[in-house]
Amino acid sequence: MFYTFRELCYSSSLAVFIAVSLAIAAVRWGHKCEPYSRHMDYYFPAWKVVVYSFLTSIVLIPSVFMPKETDAILHVRMMLMLSSFYFSSMILFSYFGKVLKVNWWKRPLYALSIPFAAMIGSGCAFTLIPGTQLEGSFCKFYFSVGGSLAIVFLFCFAMAVTMLVRALRRVAVANYSNPEDFPTHYAMQVIWIPFTHVAVSWFIVYMGSLEILAVGMLILSIINVAFIIGALSPHRAKDVRQFEAVPETVCEAVEQPCPPAVEEESNTFKDDLVKTIRRCVEEEKAYLDSHLTLATLSRSCGVNRTYVSQVMSERLGGFFMYINRCRMAHAAQFKLEYPEASVEEVAIASGFGSRQSYYNVRRQLQKEGDR
């Protein structure tokens, strides 16, 4: 059987796409450099999902050898239409959902893997069974089901992006005392990748010609390579040596007392809580921990994290602002005592972790003061 030039280009680009995807899955599985490999779920929260996502491209292998078969081409289009939204959602939720300790997405998305697998599996079967299976009214029905499922995945993708955008706007400041503890820079760098992947995938699915499919597969391969290059480095600031013997998830599960319901008692409770917070932060100098989080402080106070956040917002100007005002005061005192100290030394000695973090916080505090 002879193939035309356009069919060979399409088949070759599809083979490149599959090879790149499988290579990425292998690299993500095997790239576990020390000492981060002992804490993969912290430094690389989405690594298992990434491996699974890119491994699924294996179902497209039969289509490489069938560039003339209509069923094989439709199978590739269906795969792209569904996987672009589904895997983008899974990866965003798996990484940033775990960073933010958001777990509500797991059951719905894992449940949606069943219809996803059913659609992709049936498409693969139609490709391998001799004779054209996807034609006429059945083809319309098949793609109607796929389109409906794609809309569901689109909603999941929108939810994942909304979660990330909200985190970039407020969650980092609400829960972390150090701007570097939430991977803000990585989030801003990586957010364009799923949007570009979805746009390219849906464009080539809509157009459907072999030429556009061939070029689109190569573009998707480049996007995937860009993604894995950025994902191989740890983007979370916590030093591996700072892990406690007790896992963070266990600490989060410890029962914490809730505040009293009566208003008078509540005000007294808030006054006592403010004193406890000040003792932990100012007297015991908890602010010198450059990775101090709201969760850590709430455990030290023995009070529910949400309530601690509420009281700090009411009485102390918010967790982020209060902790970093303490650090700035410490930095000013440190500079008086050690006038020869460099900015880097002052920043680290005051709990900022780095000179850049010190500058970022100072800029944010100045903006708040100007309001």
Distances (CA, A) of 290 to 44, 101, 179, 349, 353: 21, 20, 10, 9, 5
Residue 279 confidence (pLDDT) above 60: yes
- For residue 241, what are its two tokens? 């040596």
Strand, coil or helix: what is 293? strand
Residue found by looking up tokens 């070759």 in the block: 12
Residue 55 confidence (pLDDT) above 60: yes
- For residue 154, what are its two tokens? 């689109």
pLDDT-derived band at 82 (thresholds 50, 70, 90) equals very high
DSSP 74-132: HHHHHHHHHHHHHHHHHHHIIIIIHHTT--TTHHHHHHHHHHHHHHHHHHHHHHHSSS-
- Residue 329: predicted pLDDT: 93
Residue pair 88/50 in contact (Cβ under 8 Å)? The answer is no
What is the four-CA torsion angle of 307, 310, 315, 321, rounded to 10 degrees? 120
Choice between 115 and 240, residue whose per-residue pLDDT is larger = 115
Residue 251 confidence (pLDDT) above 50: no
Residue 247 confidence (pLDDT) above 50: no
Can you tell me the distance from the alpha carbon of 259 to that of 253, in angstroms, rounded to the nearest whole number?
18
Residue pair 230/30 in contact (Cβ under 8 Å)? The answer is no
Q: What is the pLDDT of residues 88-107, one digit of tens each?
A: 999 999 999 888 778 889 99
- Residue 40: predicted pLDDT: 84
pLDDT-derived band at 24 (thresholds 50, 70, 90) equals very high
CB atoms closer than 10 angstroms to residue 97: 22
DSSP 1-68: ----HHHHHHHHHHHHHHHHHHHHHHHHHH---TTGGGGHHHHSTTHHHHHHHHHGGGGGHHHHT-TT
Mean pLDDT of the chain: 84
Residue found by looking up tokens 């899955």 in the block: 25
Residue 42 confidence (pLDDT) above 60: yes
Residue pair 335/341 in contact (Cβ under 8 Å)? The answer is yes
Q: What is the mean pLDDT of residues 287-315?
A: 85
- Separation of first and last alpha carbons in the chain: 74
Can you tell me the distance from the alpha carbon of 361 to that of 343, in angstroms, rounded to the nearest whole number?
14
Q: What is the pLDDT of residues 111-152, one digit of tens each?
A: 999 999 999 999 888 888 876 677 778 888 888 999 999 999
- Residue 257: predicted pLDDT: 53
Q: What is the pLDDT of residues 287-300, one digit of tens each?
A: 998 888 888 888 88
Residue 371 confidence (pLDDT) above 60: no
Question: Which helix (H) or strand (E) element contains residue 246?
Answer: none
- Residue 187: predicted pLDDT: 84
Candidate ranges 15-24, 70-79, 127-136, 223-232; pick with highest mean pLDDT: 15-24
Q: Which DSSP category does 179 fall into? A: G
Residue pair 41/98 in contact (Cβ under 8 Å)? The answer is yes
Least confident of 78-82, 83-87, 176-180, 338-342: 176-180
pLDDT above 90 covers what percent of the chain? 45
- Residue 308: predicted pLDDT: 86
Residue 172 confidence (pLDDT) above 80: no
Residue 162 confidence (pLDDT) above 60: yes
Q: What is the mean pLDDT of residues 268-292?
A: 88
Can you tell me the distance from the alpha carbon of 189 to that of 73, in angstroms, rounded to the nearest whole number?
33
pLDDT above 70 covers what percent of the chain? 86
